[in-house]
Structure formats: structure tokens, C-alpha cells
């Protein structure tokens, strides 16, 4: 079911713990890539990310090191796999997309789908978020990946991501996403109400201040009919 924007940003959150960290051993029959991802995020939560050996990830995942390296030559490739998981969740349920809704609502739903998909890995992502600023070489490959993901998010919500105006949308949504993620990383509310309030407020400001959430020549509630980008 699509997420609904919060009725009030002041709604009191109910604290709950993170979902249990996935146990790779429990999913021994799962796809090796999934097991590697789960093992890497579990180890990141326990020990940090910056100096995490891939050999340890392979051992925790129950995957031969040679196979892990064939699939993921570096830790950055493991993070790229996590991005693909979030992309797939964001793109899922295309039939649920209501083209009669305001674009802001559609973007809100798509971004929250990403956060929902990442929730089982949040403990690991917290540690990664702490370590990456001290490791610029590991951070750089993630920048273009984020841009592609945000472009797909825009397209999935019915907004073109091509051209100069599309590039501005991608940059703006990337900023909104990263700001909302900072809240999400520490959001212990049962329904992620703090995250939803932050995301909704930022999308609303983006819509009001820049007009980037509207197609040119289209009303605020964008229709399903295609429009030309100038």
C-alpha cells in the first residue's frame, strides 16, 4: 500500500527498535548476492565499514571468497547492490501509482518505498554513514549511483529527468533524499513519522520555491498526459 503523507508533523512518534539484523545463516538457500549484502550490513553494524575485509563478509555469508569477489570486487559494489534493492522496491507496484495525485504525493510515496526497503539494513547503514565521510575514495563512486536512482525516482513519479530542467530536479531530489535519510537513520517511530514529516516538508518547500515538481505548462496536479520539456 502506498504511504500517506503525515496529517501533522507534530504527531508523537512511538519508539520501536530497529528490525532484527538479517541472519545470513538463516537464509542459506538464498541468492548469494542477497547473503553477501545481509552479511556485509550485519558486520558493518558490528564493526564499522571503513576497514571491513571482504574475506570476513564472505565467511559470514557462507560464500567462497572467489565468488564474492566475482560479484562484488569492492565494498562500493556491495553498496551499489543495496542501491539496486532500493531501486527495485521504489519501482515496484507501478499499478498503485495514481496519476491523478499531485506529483509531490507521488514522489513522497516512491521515496518512502526506498526507506521501507532499506529498513532491515539500517543499523549497518548508520555505521556506514559515520565512516564514509572519513573515506572520500569510497564515497566518490556512490555519487553517480545516487543521481541515477533519483532520476529513476522522478521518472517513476511521472516527472522527466532529462535535459537541463531534469538535471536540476535530480540534484534537488538528491538533496531532499539525503536530508530525509539523516532523519530516517535515527527515526525509531513505529510508522517512521519523523521521516515522513521531514520528507513531506522538504518536498513541499521544493515545490513552492522552485516549481521543479511541476511539468512546464501543466497544473500542480500533473496529469498522465505527456508534456514536452523545454
pLDDT in tens, 124-181: 999 999 988 887 777 777 888 999 999 999 999 989 999 999 999 999 999 999 999 9
Point out the least confidently predicted range of 43-52, 172-181, 204-213.
Answer: 204-213
Opening angle at CA 192, ends 5 and 14, nearest 5: 115
Residues 96 and 40 in one domain: no
Residues 40 and 88 in one domain: no
Helix intervals (H) in 62-121: 65-71, 75-91, 103-118
Q: Is the pLDDT assigned to residue 62 strictly greater than 60?
A: yes
Residues 204 and 124 in one domain: yes
Side-chain-side CA neighbours of residue 158 (13 Å) = 28
pLDDT bucket at 38, cuts 50 / 70 / 90: very high
Q: Is 164 exposed, middle or buried (0-12, 13-18, 19+ CB in 10 A)?
A: exposed
pTM (two decimals): 0.79
CA 43 to chain centre: 20
How far, in Å, CA of 78 to CA of 128, rounded?
A: 12
227, part of any domain: no
Q: Which pLDDT value is given to residue 5?
A: 61
Residues 86 and 67 in one domain: no
How far, in Å, CA of 12 to CA of 183, rounded?
A: 15
Helix axes 163-184, 193-210, angle to 10 degrees: 150
Residues 85 and 156 in one domain: yes
139, part of any domain: yes
How far, in Å, CA of 116 to CA of 139, rounded?
A: 23
Q: Is the pLDDT assigned to residue 77 strictly greater than 80?
A: yes
Q: Which pLDDT value is given to residue 208?
A: 85
Number of domain units in the chain = 2
By residue range, what is the domain housing residue 142? 81-210
pLDDT bucket at 11, cuts 50 / 70 / 90: very low
Residues 131 and 34 in one domain: no
Residues 135 and 191 in one domain: yes
Contact 90, 114 (CB under 8 A): yes
58, part of any domain: yes
How far, in Å, CA of 183 to CA of 197, rounded?
A: 10
Amino acid at each position: 500500500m502506498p504511504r500517506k503523507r503525515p496529517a501533522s508533523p507534530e504527531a508523537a512518534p512511538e519508539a520501536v527498535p530497529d528490525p532484527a539484523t538479517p541472519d545470513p545463516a538463516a537464509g542459506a538457500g538464498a541468492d548469494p548476492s542477497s547473503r553477501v549484502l545481509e552479511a556485509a550490513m550485519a558486520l558493518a553494524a558490528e564493526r564499522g565499514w571503513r576497514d571491513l575485509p571482504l574475506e570476513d563478509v564472505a565467511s559470514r555469508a557462507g560464500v567462497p571468497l572467489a565468488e564474492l569477489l566475482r560479484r562484488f570486487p569492492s565494498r562500493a559494489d556491495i553498496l551499489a547492490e543495496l542501491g539496486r534493492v532500493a531501486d527495485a522496491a521504489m519501482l515496484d507496484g507501478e499499478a498503485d501509482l495514481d496519476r491523478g495525485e499531485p506529483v509531490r504525493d507521488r514522489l513522497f510515496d516512491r521515496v518512502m518505498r526506498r526507506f521501507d526497503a532499506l529498513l532491515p539494513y539500517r543499523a549497518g547503514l548508520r555505521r556506514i554513514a559515520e565512516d564514509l565521510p572519513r573515506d572520500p575514495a569510497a564515497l566518490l563512486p556512490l555519487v553517480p549511483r545516487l543521481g541515477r536512482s533519483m532520476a529513476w525516482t522522478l521518472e517513476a513519479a511521472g516527472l522527466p529527468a532529462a535535459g537541463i530542467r531534469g538535471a536540476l530536479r535530480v540534484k534537488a531530489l538528491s538533496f531532499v533524499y539525503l536530508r530525509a535519510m539523516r532523519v530516517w537513520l535515527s527515526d525509531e517511530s513505529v510508522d517512521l513519522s519523523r521521516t515522513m514529516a521531514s520528507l513531506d516538508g522538504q518536498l513541499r518547500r521544493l515545490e513552492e520555491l522552485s516549481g521543479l515538481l511541476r511539468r512546464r505548462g501543466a497544473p500542480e496536479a500533473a496529469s498522465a498526459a505527456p508534456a514536452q520539456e523545454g
